[in-house]
Every structure is written in C-alpha cells, then in structure tokens.
C-alpha cells in the first residue's frame, strides 16, 4: 500500500508530490495531460497586486517557503527553474507615481515596493514617467519544471499516464483501492478538471481563461519584467512572453481572435517597436470566486482530499498549500479557514 495516489501533475500535484517525498512518503502520480494551465502559465511571483496596490494574501510566508521549495527541486533535478528578476511597474502619469509612494508607506507593502524611481530607458518602450520596482520577484519556468519533474517521476516509476476513472475508485476504512493500486489517501489536484470529479464537483471552482503570446522583438532591449495592463517577460534570443487576458465565460483552452486582438492592443500601448507573434496559446486557470484555494478533506471520506484553485498565483501558492494539506493529514494541524473547503458548507457531497 502506498501513502498517496495523486491525481494531476500540474503545480498543485507536483507541489504535493514533492512535499510527500521530502517526508519519506510513498506516492504515485496519475495524469492524462488534459489540463495545461500550469504549463502555459506566466509563472510570475509577485507579492503585490499592482492594479490595486495591495499585498497578495500571505505573500511573506509564501515567498519564504517557495524559495526553499524550488531550490531543493532545482538541486535534485539539476535544472534551474527559478529566475529572479525585477518587476517594473510602468507609470503612465505623475498621479500613478504618487499612488506608488502612498502605497509604499503601508506597513504590509513597504518590504516589497522600492522607494527609488527607476529612470532607465529601455529601447522599444516609451516611459516618460519612469517605473516603480517591485522587490522579491521573478518567475518560475513552469513548462520546464513540469516536464523535468514528470521525467523524474517516470524514471522512478512514480507516474502513470492515463485518465482517472472515478467509477474504479473503491473507498474503505483502510484507505482507497483504484484498480490494482492500494493507497492510504488520494489527492485530487486536477485543476479545472475538477468539474468531472463526483466527490468535489459541487465546490465553486470558476475557471478563468487566459491567453498569452510569445513574441519576437529584436529592437526591444529588456532584461527585466515590465508589468502594466499586461506583463512582458524576457526569455532571451529576442523572445518575450506576454500576457495575459482574463475571460470568465469561455472555458476552452483554444486561442481566440478576440484574445489575440486584446493582447495586440495592450502590447501596442507599451512598446513602440515592431514585433511578430511566434506563438499564441491559452489555458483555463482554476480560480475561485473568493480568490482562495480549495484545500481539505471530503466531509464523508477521510481518505479523499483536494488541492485546487491555485488560480493566477500557482507558483507562490502551490508549495504553501501542499505543505498545509500534508500537515493537516499527517499531523492533524488545522488548515487555515480561508482555504479550507469547509467554508463552503454543504457544497461537497
């Protein structure tokens, strides 16, 4: 019997897998690659919501944990995934500059907002009002991370590539049986695929579609991340990832002309040089209306658990939420009520 059968190998799934392995637990991960939001994600980690100049929920704790978490995985897989880069908020007016300084006076934001205006002029961007710098930022190359981690799981015979058949799950007092697999616990980390899950599909997961570009812009000389109405992330070789849109109605992962035009319009507001679209892709983020993850144990079956709803900040939330769920299961440490699915009473069967 293994300790954990984990359904899903996106950021939530691999975060829990790694926490379990670090604690000497046995795991098996099952996935069919039907959900791609983690793979195409921008992967930015940023402790400040720049649109409203407010702190990301529990940002300090998440940043501390994720730094160690990804560092351990980088060493284990001998691959760099964590790229620390400044995020610059382009100002469009003197008023925005003033709002920045007002926000930096807030106790919760002071550690994250630099008081020094960045006056650097980047070729390809017109910035008469300069930039503000967010501290403790960067990005995780999520596609590379998930690919390398999956290879690691495969090499260690800890991965099955197949669709999960809910009808084959048998629950007993000792745990669960799934086909030939016996496990003490099953962790559902399916992202937007949660809607197919009969144990948790009444939870209010409301997917948000995002579309992104990879563009080539040889005249754009940028070695930092610029964030305004979209982010521009330098990838090297004159390539930049640009995103993202937010669509609450379309639940497909197909790129659209509407999303393409929205991104083109926003890019042209920021950069002044020519560019070409190299790739256009889309995915549905697993988001929740109250902007908190879905973490916890089924109300009737104590061997069935969920780790979902990481939304747009999966690289920051994943390690912290996985650790919280693991410690809840193994040590009985209570979950933060803000993330516990018990906040939606009578919503899970």
pLDDT (0 to 100) of residue 346: 52
Q: Which range of residues forms the domain containing residue 232?
A: 86-136+208-285
Domain annotation covers residue 325: yes
In a domain? residue 65: no
The phi, psi pair for 317, rounded to 5°, reads -75, -35
Query: In this predicted structure, what is the pLDDT of residue 51?
Result: 82
For 18, half-sphere exposure in the C-beta direction (CA atoms, 13 angstrom radius) is 30
Verify that 100 and 232 share a domain, yes or no. Answer: yes
Dump strand ranges (E) for 237-337.
239-243, 276-285, 294-297, 304-308
Residue 308 included in any domain: yes
Question: First and final CA of the chain: distance in angstroms?
Answer: 26
Distance CA 304, CA 203 (A): 14
pLDDT digits (tens, 9 = 90+) for 170-226: 999 899 999 999 999 999 999 998 999 999 999 999 889 999 999 999 999 999 999
Average the pLDDT over each of 25-39, 42-56, 160-174, 254-268 and give the range with the smallest value: 25-39
φ and ψ at residue 125, rounded to 5 degrees: -130, 130
In angstroms, the Cα distances linking 341 to 201, 292, 306, 336 are 12, 10, 9, 10
Looking at the structure, tell me whether residues 216 and 277 fall in a common domain. Answer: yes
DSSP β-bridge partners for residue 227: 89, 231
Is 348 a residue whose pLDDT tops 50? Answer: no
Nearest of 203, 201, 204, 200 to residue 300 by alpha carbon: 200
217 domain residue, yes or no: yes
At 119, which CATH number? Answer: 3.30.9.10
Average pLDDT along the chain: 94
- Can you read off the two tokens belonging to residue 294? 């879905």
- Does residue 105 share a domain with residue 132? yes
pLDDT exceeds 90 at position 32: no
- State residue 349's pLDDT score: 44
Q: Mean pLDDT, to the nearest integer, of 29-33?
A: 91
> In angstroms, rounded to a whole number, what is the distance separating the alpha carbons of residues 140 and 260?
24
Q: Which of 55, 64, 67, 66 is nearest to 314 (CA)?
A: 66
State whether 266 and 216 are in the same domain: yes
Write down the pLDDT at residue 73: 97
- How far apart CA 45 and CA 61 sit, in angstroms, is 13
**In a shared domain, residues 161 and 198:** yes
Total count of domains within the chain:
2
CATH code, 11: 3.50.50.60
C-alpha–C-alpha distance, residues 166 and 321, integer Å: 24
Taking only the tens place, the pLDDT of each residue in 230-278 is 999 999 999 999 999 999 899 888 999 999 999 999 999 999 999 999 9
pTM: 0.93
Sequence-separated contacts (24+) of 103-109 with Cβ below 8 Å: 103/53, 103/54, 106/55, 108/55, 109/48, 109/53, 109/54, 109/55
pLDDT at residue 347 tops 60? no
In tens, the pLDDT along 268-320 reads: 999 999 999 999 999 999 999 899 999 999 999 999 999 999 988 999 999 99
């Amino acid at each position: 019997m293994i300790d954990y059968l984990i359904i899903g190998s996106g950021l939530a799934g691999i975060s829990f897998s790694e926490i379990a392995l670090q604690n000497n637990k046995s795991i098996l991960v099952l996935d069919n690659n039907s959900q791609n939001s983690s793979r195409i994600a921008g992967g930015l980690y940023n402790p400040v919501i720049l649109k409203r100049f407010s702190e990301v929920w529990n940002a300090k704790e998440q940043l501390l944990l994720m730094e160690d978490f990804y560092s351990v995985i980088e060493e284990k897989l001998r691959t760099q995934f964590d790229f620390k880069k400044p995020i610059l908020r382009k100002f469009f007016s003197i008023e925005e500059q003033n709002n920045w300084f007002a926000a930096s006076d807030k106790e919760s934001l002071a550690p994250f907002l630099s008081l020094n205006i960045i006056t650097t002029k980047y070729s390809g961007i017109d910035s008469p009002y300069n930039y503000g710098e967010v501290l403790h930022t960067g990005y995780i190359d999520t596609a590379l991370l998930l690919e390398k981690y999956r290879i690691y799981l495969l090499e260690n015979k800890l991965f099955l590539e197949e669709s999960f058949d809910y009808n084959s799950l048998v629950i007993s007092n000792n745990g669960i049986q799934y086909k030939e697999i016996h496990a003490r616990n099953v962790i559902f980390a399916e992202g937007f695929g949660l809607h197919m899950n009969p144990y948790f599909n009444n939870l209010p997961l409301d997917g948000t579609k995002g579309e992104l570009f990879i563009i080539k812009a040889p005249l754009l000389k940028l070695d930092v991340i610029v964030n305004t109405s979209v982010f521009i992330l330098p990838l090297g070789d004159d390539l930049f990832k640009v995103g993202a849109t937010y669509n609450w109605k379309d639940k497909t992962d197909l790129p659209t002309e509407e999303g393409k035009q929205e991104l083109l319009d926003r890019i042209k507001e920021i950069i002044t040089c020519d560019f070409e679209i190299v790739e256009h892709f889309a995915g549905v983020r697993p988001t929740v209306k109250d902007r908190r993850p879905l973490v916890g144990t089924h109300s009737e079956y104590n061997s069935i658990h969920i780790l979902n709803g990481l939304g747009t900040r999966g690289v920051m939330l994943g390690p912290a939420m996985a650790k919280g769920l693991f410690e809840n299961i193994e040590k009985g440490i209570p979950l933060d009520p803000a993330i516990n699915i018990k906040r939606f009473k009578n919503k899970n069967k």
